[in-house]
Amino acid sequence: PLAASPDRARRYSNSSSSSSGSNSSTRAALLPSRLQSREPPQPAAAAAAESATAQSAAPSLTESAEIPEEAGQSSAAVTEPPAADMRLSSACRSACCCCGLGRRARHRLAGGADFVRRHLAFALAPAACLLAVESGGLVAFAVLLLGALLGLLSLEAYLVYCRNEPPESRYFVDHPSRYGLPSQTVFLDSGRGARLHCYFIKQPGDSTRLPTLLFLHGNAGNIGHRLPNAALLFHQCRVNLFLLEYRGYGISTGAPSGTGLYADAAAALQHLSRRSDIDPQRVLLFGRSLGGAVAIELAARPETAALLSGLVLENTFTSLPEAASVLFRLPLLSSLPGLVMTNRFNSRAKMPSIRVPTLFISGLRDTLIPPAMSACLHSLCGSGVRRLETFESGEHNTTWQCAGYFQRLAGFLHFASEMAPQREDWHAGQHSEDEEDQSAGAAAAAASATSAAGGASAGTTADDIPTITVL
């Protein structure tokens, strides 16, 4: 519009130049430091030379790179969105700039364009249906089925991995310094081009005597949205925290998938096992919702379970198709997720393989994941030390705000970390217990079922888990 009207463009440029002095300082104060400095475009030859020089001088990031941060810093960690999410044409960018749209608005336009592109199959489905009716050809019918299948797969990934909710999640990540937490920013390489953004929050003093919690978040947002919860874990439970941001979430690169999330959590666990400022024998997994399914996968693998001293699962599901079927009330539709979903996260089948001490936390007012799923996982768990804690007023995302939550959690974390020297004998001891149970026959099976249904805890020493009073 400005190019079509020279007079209007002249008035716009005059008004912009007259108000630049008053608005520049305001914009500089509002924009983060990463977004304030934008260099003018360079010629192709100069840009290539500068890129080669920067690559030769940059440090290697094959394992991890840590950026220490101080608690006194007030600026949040903000990074520009990945280039794949900013595929706007030059004409669209110039129009956005002329209209006064900032980086956030351009990113939302790019997200909308990406949503339309990914769900183009739904837009083409009616046209293919009309073509099939008119011509009666098998080709058009095959195109219709293929488009419907691609559309369902895209819709499944969009609903399972809500990495763009809230809308700022992909380019704004809050920083621990805003909550007075001493932290390090860690970047990990997790394979297939995924570079993971993480926060390591360490207790002052001798942190090697305290448990370290690897925090695996749910399917939406980023690790910045978990910082209020992390601050209470840090102060009330007295633990070190490692917050992992999955691939494709926040400012981590890559695209999320089931195998990708497993690889991300395994990379973070390997990183913690090599750190010298914590005790690698006192590392526990904490998984909430989708993060619980990722934590179960790692605890069920012998090679990663050997690095764990405990497992905490909060409001997680038996499998993703079973959780999705709860949303469908009709009998015929309730079986649809089990037929079409590719992201299954079948935790039900993995629970008998878990041997580490396990704490299950369930909010009884959770309307997204039925509390009965936590009870089912608890009954299937193969660990000799397991416990189920329920909270009457707990909802899916607010159970950690219930009274007594941190006291019960702190008691289990410190109890499991003190049992860490015995974890080498867990597998052998559990195998012998399994053989005794098989030889005992139906009587032992009935006793086990009665023990699983009779209380919130099961196992030989689960009732001895203390509750720490936090002042």
Residues annotated as part of the active site: 289, 366, 396
What is the β-pairing status of strands 212-216 and 457-459?
Answer: unpaired
One-letter amino acid for residue 25 of the chain: S
Query: Any residues with CB less than 8 A from the CB of 45 and at least 6 apart, and which?
Result: none
